[in-house]
Amino acid sequence: MQEIRIYGDPVLRKSAQEVETFDERLNRFIDEMAETMLVKDGVGLAANQVGEAIRIVVIDTTAGEEPPIIFVNPHITAASDEMAEAEEGCLSLPGITLPVKRHLRVSVSAQDRRGREFTIEQAAGLLARALQHEIDHLNGVLFIDHVSPLQRTMIRGKLKKLAKTGSADG
Ligand code: NI
């Protein structure tokens, strides 16, 4: 299992590089990401979160019932005007959850683990939210960047503690 990088680690603020080589090494890395996400009960994981600033996201909205969806070099091609707010958390910010406004639906194009292009049209619900959250990670953006200044102020202490100790509790 890979080590999850916690808030304060500079790799979480890096803009990730496009993947150009689809080889065995990449596939092993993707498998490890999928395993790490499963063990950590995550809905999604971006490569930045395991210390590699490369454009890979894995998402599982089925709690391990189905294989995760792998997105290499993903980008959002369309987003609904309609927004939805829901509670979000992040494996890199343990102990912090906040309501975040996201597009209700998004379309995404990406490559699979072999480099074949695919698209997901009009993803909705948790998948739409996870896609936006994880693609943000590839651009060095965290969900706390989307919350109001007041909410940001309210978690300032927790963030400081996280960056210092790796835990927001206690
Ligand atoms: Ni996250």
pLDDT tens by residue, 98-134: 999 999 999 999 999 999 999 999 999 999 999 999 9
Give the CATH superfamily of 10-165. Answer: Peptide deformylase (3.90.45.10)
Q: Say how many Å lie between the CA of residue 42 and the centre of ligand 1.
A: 9
Q: In the block, which residue shows the tokens 């600033």?
A: 53
Catalytic site includes residue 134: yes
Return the domain boundaries, the chain. 10-165
Q: Say how many Å lie between the CA of residue 82 and the centre of ligand 1.
A: 22
170 has a pLDDT exceeding 80: no
pLDDT tens by residue, 48-80: 999 999 999 999 999 989 999 999 999 999 999
Q: Whole-model pTM?
A: 0.96
* Ligand 1 is an ion; residues with CB less than 5 A from it: 90
pLDDT tens by residue, 30-50: 999 999 999 999 999 999 999
Distance, CA of 93 to CA of 7 (rounded, Å): 6
Q: Which of 3, 20, 65, 134 is catalytic?
A: 134
Question: How far from 13 is each of 5, 6, 10, 55, 64, CA to CA, in Å?
Answer: 11, 11, 5, 13, 28
Q: In the block, which residue shows the tokens 């080590």?
A: 3
Burial of 48 (C-beta count, 10 Å sphere; 0-12/13-18/19+): buried
